[in-house]
Structure 1
Amino acid sequence: MAESSGDIETPPPGAGGTPAGTGPHLTRSIGLLQLSAIGIGATVGTGIFFVLNTSVPEAGPAVVVSFVIAAITAGLTALCYAELASAIPVSGSSYSYAYATLGEIVAFGVGACLLLEYGVSASAVSVGWGQYLNEFFHDAFGFTLPNVIAQPPGDGGYVNVPAMVLVTLCCLLLVRGTKESATLNAVMVGVKLVVLLLFVAIAFSGFQSSNLKPFAPLGFSGISTAASSIFFSFIGLDAVSTAGEEVREPHRTLPRAILIALIVVTALYIAVALAAVGAQKWTLFQGQQAGLAQILRDVTGQTWPSIMFALGAIASIFSVTLVVIYGQTRILYTMGRDGMLPPAFASVSPRTGTPVWNTVVVSIGVSLLAGFVPLDVLADLTSLGTLVAFTVVSIGVMVLRRTHPDMPRGFRVPGFPVTPLLSVAACIYVISGLHTLTFGFFAAWLTGAALIYFGYSIKHSRLRGAD
């Protein structure tokens, strides 16, 4: 298949795609291995390196069940993503799918959810980079960076300099080009898988069944709360579909990569969670920094495993931040091309083939959040944005089956329509476990998005202008 966007079928009106010759195009340079690595890279590390420190105190050892609940919800939605990605292989992820199936105003709301999801999660993940840098410096060289510049505000720090440096490095790499970024990401994904498997092997050597008692000290409500909090760990599945216009043979590659990423991620998460709660009493997770590295040091009594793990975490968090920022820029690119945002967001550099201005703006925003804003409360907000987007995707599958039944699809959701209905129900169930304050912040965010839509987007929409 030739590497040009003119080789795919024109998506349904409003799918977030631009027919050949009518607008800027991204280069098709990503294959199945690289795309699967993007999904795994955005997911593994989004939360697993630090989410246990907050979720285990909520659920106890039963956090393993919380991961299963989140994985089932993500899995049902992944099947829906796979069908829509094979039918509408364009950039923009669930924003584009909502545009094609449910209309412009719903799509803008979903786009707002995705921007919240990606921006906040990128900032939250980059915050953890400084913690693992300090863990490495401490064990390898006997010193640490001062907390005032290495920890997030509200947790002993004033400005998180390592997080801001990390975002800057990711920005420079993304500006250079997508192919280079995807290749480096694939290498770092391999590194993170090795170190997490190393953790599982060593932690299981210190496994004590007594650490699993009581298994669910806070009952099923604690399990549900933890499942809601850790759900943002599965946003990598969404990142796969943001690359729709830069993938070779997208009708086949996109659904395969989504399913591969889901299987690998779920198996690894459950193994890491079980090994961690088996090696350390659940009451000790509260307030730990670089907790998984600490477990390795406690189990072995030596520093070399924690040094290796900290290095792997440093590479992993770099990879996650890179992919999440990449995903956000592609969503903004698509929204700008559709006229929902100013056209500068859709401008592509003729030299690198990447949306440079867009990438710089996103990176500045993520950097400021990571450096100056306490993000512990916003983890739930990230989950809510993700779950709303996932719900819309599941509904979109059913709508597209009815409105475009004969559209070619490289993958079809099995058990239709039961599977997408179960996906919607699972998302609503996980949403119900979020804290009340989260819904207040979310309502404020959507209010701001509505002001932008009715103040700018409704007047400049490409689809509306074509009517």
Structure 2
Amino acid sequence: MNTSSQLKKTIGMPQAVALYVSAVLGSGVLIVPGLAAELAGPASLLAWGGMVLLILPLALSMGLLSARYPDAGGVSHFVTLAFGQRAGTIIGWFFLMSVPIGAPVAALTGAGYMTAALGLGEHIRILIAAIMLAIGLIINIVGMQVAGKVQIGVVIAIVAVLVMAFLLALPNMDSIHYTPFMPHGWVSIGQAGAILFWCFIGWEAVSHLSEEFTDPRKAAITGVTIAAIIVGVLYFLTALATVGTQSYLHGGADVSLVWIISQPLGIWGAWIAGLTGIFICTATVIAYAGAASRVGYALARQGAAPRWMAHLSNRFHTPVAAIGFLGICFILVLSVYASGIVSLTTLIQLPNATFILTYLGGCAAGIRLLKGSRTGVTISWISFVATAIVFPFTGWAVLYPVLIIILYGLFSRKQPSKI
């Protein structure tokens, strides 16, 4: 095959770790520790402990598949191998159509952290979010080698700020803040755990970049293990600081990190917290825009999406047509949000069901494709069951994947020989 029609293998181990961390350590670290503490009080730390233990199976189930079957289709490719092309194509469409909403939500969340920290208005929030999305798309046009290097720098900055936030919180952490330990009963721990699960979805995204790994096995298995440890530690430290300082009561559950940092540092702390929100969510946008554009490219390559999505940049060998499609979607979603037709809460809920169904498909594929590895099958089952338990909580958002299936059906009817 002509190399001009292939994706370049430019993602080494450090870039892979950074991409994994940034895909998982998204907007959740900004808002979920406070929301979980609000639900369960200090006992939310038990839910965090459980999820930190579960994070490695969740990560490795995707990592093992990426190592064995590296392909731009990612989870869609795994499901195709396990259950046939139609099932794999539907999973690919689920992921492809999740990111056009999920990425703007992440950008608006990060921008909202900055505007909340500095007391800025909603129009500034939308402008900042638009800039973040544009940066994510441009970096992906230039290529994953550049994206990976940018992610390394961003992730180092994020880790430094989160560790600094924990250290700044230490003087304000008091044992009295941990009592009563379980103010809302055992059920609240389960409710907190359901929310925490969203913090650990993201491992499936980087699987779509596996075709560009220079060493798929090393990047996908060793890289994902390192990333899982980093993410687990950072989440738990942030949760410990949130509970120990009771910042979720003083600063508001959704901006508790702003309170932790701004208390000792004043306006400079507000700036640091706001910039941290922007860095974290921009890193997430870069990772997910890269993954979704590769899915669009892979689907088009096999005739399961419009052919124009398979067009690559002559200079950078990146899927510029699919990236352009995402750009149009981002503009539409931001415009709808700016008009006030839908709230951010509604936008957040829309892609939940499709993200979970994508992950369920990947875990089910792992159960079938990793049969030669007892460890692989076991962690795939653990991941599948944990994800299936959460799915009923998506509620009305299940209508979105139904709509995507209808759209896919209309496309496949017009292209009977391509599917």
TM-score for both structures, normalised by structure 1: 0.81
Do the aligned partners of residues 366 and 456 (structure 1) sit closer, same or farther apart at CA in structure 2, a change above 3 Å counting? Answer: same
Do the aligned partners of residues 277 and 383 (structure 1) sit closer, same or farther apart at CA in structure 2, a change above 3 Å counting? Answer: farther
Cα-to-partner distance string for 1:385-422 (whole Å, 9 max, x where unaligned):
333222222221222245xx5xxxxxx462x5433222
Alpha-carbon distance in 1 for matches of 2:418, 2:58: 27
In the other structure, the counterpart of 2:326 is: 362
Q: Does 1:306 align with 2:280?
A: no
Matches within 5 A, 1:32-181: 32-134=13-115, 138=118, 144-145=119-120, 147-151=121-125, 160-181=126-147
Q: CA deviation at 1:456?
A: 1.9
Cα-to-partner distance string for 1:128-151 (whole Å, 9 max, x where unaligned):
232333356x3xxxxx43x24145
Q: CA deviation at 1:189?
A: 0.9
Q: CA deviation at 1:119?
A: 3.3
Q: Does 1:441 align with 2:407?
A: no
SS in 2 for 1:49: helix
SS in 1 for 2:131: helix
Do the aligned partners of residues 185 and 126 (structure 1) sit closer, same or farther apart at CA in structure 2, a change above 3 Å counting? Answer: same
Alpha-carbon distance in 2 for matches of 1:57, 1:367: 34
Amino acid at match of 2:410: G
Do the aligned partners of residues 176 and 219 (structure 1) sit closer, same or farther apart at CA in structure 2, a change above 3 Å counting? Answer: same
Structure 2: gaps (5+ residues):
none
SS in 1 for 2:182: coil
Amino acid at match of 2:217: H
Do the aligned partners of residues 59 and 336 (structure 1) sit closer, same or farther apart at CA in structure 2, a change above 3 Å counting? Answer: farther
Q: Does 1:384 align with 2:348?
A: no
Do the aligned partners of residues 251 and 457 (structure 1) sit closer, same or farther apart at CA in structure 2, a change above 3 Å counting? Answer: farther
Cα-to-partner distance string for 1:227-262 (whole Å, 9 max, x where unaligned):
323323223322321111111021332222222211
In the other structure, the counterpart of 1:9 is: none
Alpha-carbon distance in 2 for matches of 1:253, 1:166: 27
Alpha-carbon distance in 1 for matches of 2:57, 2:352: 16
Alpha-carbon distance in 2 for matches of 1:119, 1:55: 27
Cα-to-partner distance string for 1:279-326 (whole Å, 9 max, x where unaligned):
1254446464x431222223x263333333333332222222221211
Aligned length: 414
CA contact (8 A) 1:98 1:393 kept: yes
Q: Does 1:396 align with 2:360?
A: no
TM-score for both structures, normalised by structure 2: 0.89
Structure with greater helix percent: 2
In the other structure, the counterpart of 1:419 is: 379
Amino acid at match of 1:439: G
Do the aligned partners of residues 382 and 187 (structure 1) sit closer, same or farther apart at CA in structure 2, a change above 3 Å counting? Answer: same
Cα-to-partner distance string for 1:347-402 (whole Å, 9 max, x where unaligned):
11111211112112212313432451422244455443333222222221222245
Amino acid at match of 1:387: I
Alpha-carbon distance in 2 for matches of 1:131, 1:216: 31
RMSD: 2.6
Cα-to-partner distance string for 1:12-64 (whole Å, 9 max, x where unaligned):
xxxxxxxx459921011110001110111222233101233433322323332
Q: CA deviation at 1:73?
A: 4.2
Do the aligned partners of residues 66 and 397 (structure 1) sit closer, same or farther apart at CA in structure 2, a change above 3 Å counting? Answer: same
Q: CA deviation at 1:202?
A: 0.8
Alpha-carbon distance in 2 for matches of 1:450, 1:121: 18
In the other structure, the counterpart of 1:156 is: none
Percent identical: 22
Alpha-carbon distance in 2 for matches of 1:302, 1:148: 23
Alpha-carbon distance in 2 for matches of 1:121, 1:62: 30
CA contact (8 A) 2:9 2:212 kept: yes
Do the aligned partners of residues 336 and 232 (structure 1) sit closer, same or farther apart at CA in structure 2, a change above 3 Å counting? Answer: farther
